[in-house]
Structure 1
Amino acid sequence: MKQNKMLLYALLVIVVLSIAFSVATYNTSGNGDNEQSVQPSVASTSGSFEDLMEMTAIENTNNDLQLTIYSGNFALVKEKREAQLEEGYNYIRYSDVPTRIEPSSVILEDTGDNGISVIEQTYRYDVASKSGLLETYTGREITVYDADGKQYTGTLLSYRDGLILQTAEGVISLSETSRIEYPDSGDLLTSPTLIWQLYSPISGNVEMLTSYLTNGIGWDASYVIKTDADETTADIEGWVNIDNNAGTSFEDATIKLMAGDINRQSAQKAYDSMAYEVSAEEAAAGSFDRESFSEYHMYTLNHQSSLQDKQSKQISLFSKDNVPVEKELVYDSWGGDRISISFTLDNSEEEGPGVALPAGVAKLYQPDSEGQLQFAGEDRIDHTPVGDNIRLTAGYAFDITGERKQVDYERIGTNRYRNTNTITISNYKETTEDVVIVERLYGDWEITESSHPYTKQDANTIEFKVEVPAKGDVEVTYTSLYNY
């Protein structure tokens, strides 16, 4: 009787377990219209990060590269590469990235909208080096040869102040070594590398677009201005100078240059050759296509070009001949007794370059008596829009000087006074010269007397234009009344 009860109890337990198993199976797989696919969780992947990376990492082939370089010594890099993905989780290794990349700026996009999602991104910059290898192999077995060539094999315990090994014979310390052998390892990197963990709902070849900012790439503009003998026209060449110190090379890139002041926060931590790669025809027409972008100007190189690491490259921006130029000798008392040599060039579409000119240094060349060009000075010009003038100061006149004196001062009220100034321009040359005299005024002023006509330039500036005879002087005197 007792045995029958035990048998009945056992059968009841089996029935209950069978029902529970059936319910669990139904809830997991579903049926009919309620069926759902279940993605494996991240925790379901097996093996260490390095093991997974070594098994599934794909070295992608460069497909399309674009650089937008800013004058603030940084660039936006965009590159399309193809990756062979498996359905499920994948580790993608993206090598040869700049050492000065900003990791937080990296964006990875699936150009085909295949539903690929990024789970994790890692930037590894522990590139193989002696100290890096020793740090990587601490706790692992290496083989060391001392200065006499004796071999030791053991676990590296420390590499500070000499190597300490745990060998079969015990712990030894080596202060001098002639050679170190490391077992082959798949997790050593020869260049900085980005690694992504992706989930892909499909298998196959997928195009991925990677975008990131990197420091160490910059550009600026420079100009060569060659005047004719009578200094009334000039030939102008504009050049773009690109410096790549980002820590990697960029091959066959589409290059865009952004001109303007881009606001940036503090940058993250993170000339070996010179190349002229444009033909004479390209140089004459200019190598860049220009367009407005937001409140900036963008210049696109009309052919692909390569930038090697630690390379400076010059590319033609434009070339324009017979641009009208006006030379002026300017005396500004704020600059002492020197007379500056100033040139103004037309940047109109009709007679000038007719393009938006990024800021840069302009070098001036002029012909001597034999027609040979000589360097005559340089100046930095500001961003110059179309229709404005290009202005630069080349240097200071040798044979013309200026002097300013206050010859009278009178207080004529509590908040009023009057003073008289005299400016003397002396010309020691054999030819007559025209000089512009710039005077700075302040407050509420009025010119009550003047020996020469003047023009008001703005609220605080007036100009006199005088002709100074050869070997002679011109004296300009004016009286001003101030209220304050």
Structure 2
Amino acid sequence: MKHSPYWLKALVVVLPASLAPLAALAGASSDTNRVDAMALYNRGAAVVQNTRDIELEAGGQTVGWPLAGRLRADTVWLEGEGVRLTGLSTDAGDNDGQGLLASRIGQSVTLLRDNDAGDARSREATLVGINGDTLLVRIDDRIERLTGDSPWRVAWPADTDNGDRLQLDLDADKAGKQALTAIYQIDGPSWQASYTGRFDAKAGQLELASMAVIDNSGGARLAADKAWLVAGDVARSGGNAPAPMMMARSEAKQSDAGAPEASGDSYRYALDNGLDVAAGGTRAVSIMAPQTFEAERSYRVENSLYSVSRDGERSHAQIRLAFENTADVPLPAGVVRIYDSAGSAQLMGENRIDDTPKKAPVTLTLGTAFDLTSERRLVEDRKTGEKNTGENEQRRTIEIKLYNASADTATVNVIEHLPQGASVESAEPETMDEAPANTAQWQIDVPANGDKTLRYTATWSN
């Protein structure tokens, strides 16, 4: 990553806090850019809502409005009694100070330097130009170059900078102070659920705790008095952002922690203390109370009838953990990490779940079992039927030998995917009755330190 030159880093300390990207880098704590309400979407982007009292004139006029991130200009909605939005303009924003500095070309700046004794020195100059990391400044009757290695810092009065990066063209019915509410979308911020669980095989229970991890890559501090995390796939147009929609008014009642509220076809998780994440920062917050589920660990060997050789292929069984979302809350999409209570500091594996409604089943694939393996080989493969009749029948026999090197009996689910219209002519042991279409399925107990052999024959027409 390219580091900002010394003079550009130092520039941050004298800028107004309303310039959120720079203020956040400096660790500013001002609430100038704090908004009333914000909703972050787990697919990316955010909806911002803020109300300000503006002194208006009757008729057409332009007013400034601060922004809380990278604006999508076509998403602005303005609400006010007798006030209409007739147009708007905005700058591109500035995430590293270069844009702010470029706007100062031709104007006076102050060069600051601290000596070894801690005494500050300063010089007045005029910013003449910028070439990459090099500044050209005029001091008296000469031009000087300041590079990234220069000990001088560049500063100017904070009150000369305007934080109202959005300019709204309005038409008001009457003059006077008016409360205006702006709703708009910003790019960059996103969040996802992160789950950590502990599985007790003897009790058949899974304890699951959830957090929301907020990633603020939008280049500006996220700060809101009230905030929600929205789970669900909201339609987008022209980018990673939710379709324009009205947020709930900021005075609306928040959900209790751990009790998400349905909002249209999505769910909203309220953050009790609002939101405050520095530009480029990450924050994790709890979004629901820990939940306990009845869960079952199983082992799975899955293959296709087409994929087999006479030489035999050896593979490890998949580890799966299945449970039903019996909690009274939906589970938003995210990564699930499961620890095994049978051993200290023991990870079973990680997997990702999609948005999961209440009562919906969840199956996690957590890796492969070291001691459970299978060897699969082609025993017979032949065609029957008259030549040139187009009615050839394919017949294939496959043998699967399951090995269990552990000290406990293991139940293994064997799934074989069959061609369209195929049927199992014979099998030992017999197939399960309720297998999905074009699938043969077995549930086989493999003894401890032992093995078990499965053989079946399938036929189908070519």
Which band: TM-score by shorter chain? 0.7 to 0.9
Q: Pick from 421, 426, 435: which aligns with 1:444? A: 421
Q: Which amino acid aligns with 1:357?
A: L
Comparing 176-185 with 321-330, greater Cα deviation is found at: 176-185
1:246 maps to 218
1:214 maps to 186
Once the two structures are TM-superposed, the CA of residue 474 in structure 1 deviates from its matched residue by: 0.5
Residues 56 and 175, structure 2, Cα contact 8 Å, conserved in 1: yes
Cα distance change of structure 1 residues 197 and 263 upon mapping to structure 2, 3 Å threshold: closer
Deviations 1:66-117 (A, max 9, x none): 222212221111112222224445442222531x22122222221xx2x123
Cα distance change of structure 1 residues 454 and 131 upon mapping to structure 2, 3 Å threshold: closer
2:91 maps to 124
Q: Which runs of 5+ in 1 are unaligned?
A: 1-59, 270-284
Instruction: Answer yes or no: is 1:345 the counterpart of 2:317.
Output: no
- Higher RCO (C-alpha 8 Å, min separation 6): 2
Task: Write the distance in 1 (CA, Å) between the matches of 2:188 and 2:357.
Answer: 28
Number of residue pairs matched by the alignment: 392
Cα distance change of structure 1 residues 104 and 409 upon mapping to structure 2, 3 Å threshold: same
Task: Write the distance in 2 (CA, Å) between the matches of 1:391 and 1:128.
Answer: 42
Residues 320 and 364, structure 2, Cα contact 8 Å, conserved in 1: yes
Q: Which amino acid aligns with 1:82?
A: D
SS in 1 for 2:174: coil
Once the two structures are TM-superposed, the CA of residue 344 in structure 1 deviates from its matched residue by: 0.6
SS in 1 for 2:449: coil
Task: Write the distance in 2 (CA, Å) between the matches of 1:360 and 1:320.
Answer: 15
Pairs within 5 Å for 1:456-471: 456-471=434-449
Task: Write the distance in 2 (CA, Å) between the matches of 1:130 and 1:362.
Answer: 39
Cα distance change of structure 1 residues 451 and 268 upon mapping to structure 2, 3 Å threshold: closer
2:293 maps to 323
Q: Pick from 341, 350, 353: which aligns with 1:367? A: 341
Once the two structures are TM-superposed, the CA of residue 202 in structure 1 deviates from its matched residue by: 2.6
Q: Pick from 261, 268, 276: which aligns with 1:307? A: 276
2:10 maps to none
2:388 maps to none
1:224 maps to 196
Q: Pick from 76, 84, 87: which aligns with 1:106? A: 76
Residues 48 and 184, structure 2, Cα contact 8 Å, conserved in 1: yes
Q: Which amino acid aligns with 1:72?
A: R
1:78 maps to 49
SS in 2 for 1:458: coil
Cα distance change of structure 1 residues 130 and 462 upon mapping to structure 2, 3 Å threshold: closer
Pairs within 5 Å for 1:49-448: 65-98=36-69, 100-110=70-80, 113=81, 115-125=82-92, 132=99, 135-138=102-105, 140=106, 142=108, 156=128, 159-160=130-131, 163=136, 174-175=144-145, 188-189=161-162, 191=163, 193-230=165-202, 232-267=204-239, 287-294=257-264, 296-301=265-270, 303-309=272-278, 310-333=280-303, 337-347=315-325, 352-368=326-342, 372=344, 374-413=346-385, 414-448=391-425
Q: Which amino acid aligns with 1:122?
A: S
Q: Which amino acid aligns with 1:241?
A: V
Once the two structures are TM-superposed, the CA of residue 197 in structure 1 deviates from its matched residue by: 3.4
Task: Write the distance in 2 (CA, Å) between the matches of 1:193 and 1:301.
Answer: 29
Once the two structures are TM-superposed, the CA of residue 220 in structure 1 deviates from its matched residue by: 0.9
Comparing 221-230 with 318-327, greater Cα deviation is found at: 318-327
Task: Write the distance in 2 (CA, Å) between the matches of 1:130 and 1:448.
Answer: 74
Report runs of 4+ in structure 1 exceeding 6 Å deviation: 60-64, 149-155, 164-167, 177-186
Deviations 1:122-167 (A, max 9, x none): 21346598754664355x464798x9x99897895x5558748699
Once the two structures are TM-superposed, the CA of residue 328 in structure 1 deviates from its matched residue by: 0.7
Scaled by the length of structure 2, the TM-score of the pair is 0.73
1:480 maps to 458
Task: Write the distance in 2 (CA, Å) between the matches of 1:211 and 1:415.
Answer: 67
Q: Which amino acid aligns with 1:254?
A: K
Identity of aligned residues (%): 23
Once the two structures are TM-superposed, the CA of residue 262 in structure 1 deviates from its matched residue by: 2.8
RMSD: 3.7
Cα distance change of structure 1 residues 101 and 301 upon mapping to structure 2, 3 Å threshold: same
Residues 286 and 319, structure 1, Cα contact 8 Å, conserved in 2: no
Q: Which amino acid aligns with 1:287?
A: A
Once the two structures are TM-superposed, the CA of residue 241 in structure 1 deviates from its matched residue by: 1.8
Deviations 1:255-286 (A, max 9, x none): 223322233244399xxxxxxxxxxxxxxx98
2:6 maps to none
Once the two structures are TM-superposed, the CA of residue 174 in structure 1 deviates from its matched residue by: 4.2
Q: Which amino acid aligns with 1:463?
A: Q
Deviations 1:419-454 (A, max 9, x none): 100111011112211111111111221111111121
SS in 1 for 2:259: strand
Q: Which runs of 5+ in 2 are unaligned?
A: 1-30, 114-120, 242-254, 305-312, 386-390
Task: Write the distance in 2 (CA, Å) between the matches of 1:441 and 1:312.
Answer: 47
Scaled by the length of structure 1, the TM-score of the pair is 0.70
Once the two structures are TM-superposed, the CA of residue 402 in structure 1 deviates from its matched residue by: 0.6
Task: Write the distance in 2 (CA, Å) between the matches of 1:118 and 1:249.
Answer: 27
